Structure 1
Amino acid sequence: MNLTAAQHDRSAGVLLGLACGDALGAGYEFAGPLPDTAPVSMRGGGGFHWAPGEWTDYTAMTVPLAVAAAAGRDLRDESVLNEIVAQWVNWAKSAPYAGTQLGAVLSGSEPTAAGARRAAREQHERNGRSAGNGSLLRTAAVALAYLDDPVALAETARRVSELTHCETDASDACALFGLALRQAVLEGELDIRAGLPTLPSERREMWTARFDDAEHKRPADFPGNGWVVQTLQAAWSAITHARATDAGQVRRAIEAAARGGGDTDAVAATAGALTAARWGLAAVPTAWRHLVQGWPGLGGVDLVRLSMQAAHRGEAGEVGGAVADEVGRRRTVKLRAVR
Structure 2
Amino acid sequence: MHYDDPHQSCNTQHEEHNMEDRSRGTLIGLAVGDALGAAVEFQSPGSFPPVTGYRGGGPHPIEPGAWTDDTSMALALADSIADVGWDLNDQAERYVQWWKTGRYSVNGRCFDIGMTIRRALGEFSVNGNALTSGDSHEYASGNGSIMRLAPVPMRYAELFESDLAEFSRLAEESSLPTHPSEQCRDACRYLACVLAALIRGEPRDDVLAADWQTLQQLNAIKPLHPLVQEIADGSFRRRQPPEIEGSGWVIRSLEAALWAFHDADSFEEAVLKAVNLGDDADTTGAVCGQLAGACWGESNIPSSLRAGLVRRDMLELALTKLLE
The bucket for the TM-score relative to the shorter chain is 0.7 to 0.9
Instruction: Describe the SS at the equivalent of 1:203.
Output: coil
Alpha-carbon spacing, 1:206–1:4, altered in 2? closer, same or farther (3 Å):
same
Ranges of 4+ aligned residues in structure 1 off by more than 6 Å: none
Instruction: Describe the SS at the equivalent of 2:273.
Output: helix
How far residue 38 of structure 1 moved from its aligned partner, in angstroms, is 3.3
Alignment of 1:202-217 (within 5 A): 203=224, 206-211=227-232, 212-217=234-239
TM-score by length of 2: 0.81
Distance 1:292 1:182 in 2: 24
1:330: which partner in 2? none
1:156: which partner in 2? 170
Distance 2:70 2:256 in 1: 16
Match of 2:42 among 30, 44, 51: 30
Per-residue CA deviations over 1:255-295 (Å, capped at 9, x if unaligned) read 001111211111111111111111111111112212213xx
1:334: which partner in 2? none
Instruction: Describe the SS at the equivalent of 1:118.
Output: coil
Worse-superposed segment, 33-42 or 153-162 = 33-42
Alpha-carbon spacing, 1:36–1:234, altered in 2? closer, same or farther (3 Å):
farther
Instruction: Describe the SS at the equivalent of 1:187.
Output: coil
Match of 2:254 among 212, 227, 232: 232
Alpha-carbon spacing, 1:87–1:222, altered in 2? closer, same or farther (3 Å):
same
Distance 1:118 1:205 in 2: 24
Q: Does 1:87 align with 2:94?
A: yes
Match of 1:255 among 268, 272, 288: 272
Distance 2:89 2:196 in 1: 26
1:47: which partner in 2? 59
1:172: which partner in 2? 186
Per-residue CA deviations over 1:36-87 (Å, capped at 9, x if unaligned) read 993432113111112211111111011122123334x422x3xxx3232222
Instruction: Describe the SS at the equivalent of 1:129.
Output: helix
Please list every run of 5 or more consecutive structure 1 residues that lacks an aligned counterpart in the other structure.
316-339
Alignment of 1:303-322 (within 5 A): 303-304=315-316, 306-307=318-319, 309-311=321-323, 315=324
Distance 1:192 1:302 in 2: 31
Alignment of 1:73-222 (within 5 A): 73-75=84-86, 77=87, 81-93=88-100, 94-110=109-125, 114=129, 116-121=130-135, 124=136, 129-150=139-160, 151=164, 152-190=166-204, 191-192=207-208, 196-197=215-216, 198-199=218-219, 203=224, 206-211=227-232, 212-218=234-240, 220-222=242-244
Q: Does 1:265 align with 2:286?
A: no
Distance 2:319 2:126 in 1: 26
Please list every run of 5 or more consecutive structure 2 residues that lacks an aligned counterpart in the other structure.
1-11, 101-108
Does structure 1 retain, via aligned residues, the 8 Å contact 2:80–2:90? no
1:335: which partner in 2? none
How far residue 218 of structure 1 moved from its aligned partner, in angstroms, is 2.9
How far residue 159 of structure 1 moved from its aligned partner, in angstroms, is 0.9
Instruction: Describe the SS at the equivalent of 1:102.
Output: helix
Instruction: Describe the SS at the equivalent of 2:89.
Output: helix
Distance 1:113 1:139 in 2: 22
Does structure 1 retain, via aligned residues, the 8 Å contact 2:34–2:71? yes
Worse-superposed segment, 185-194 or 255-264 = 185-194
Distance 1:202 1:85 in 2: 27
Q: Does 1:68 align with 2:80?
A: yes
Worse-superposed segment, 255-264 or 194-203 = 194-203
Q: 1:88 corresponds to which letter in structure 2?
A: Y
Instruction: Describe the SS at the equivalent of 1:120.
Output: coil
How far residue 205 of structure 1 moved from its aligned partner, in angstroms, is 6.0
Per-residue CA deviations over 1:288-327 (Å, capped at 9, x if unaligned) read 212213xxxx41x54245336424xxx2xxxxxxxxxxxx
TM-score by length of 1: 0.78
1:320: which partner in 2? none
Distance 1:306 1:145 in 2: 11
Worse-superposed segment, 137-146 or 16-25 = 137-146
Count of residues paired in the alignment: 292
Distance 1:182 1:227 in 2: 23
Distance 1:182 1:305 in 2: 21
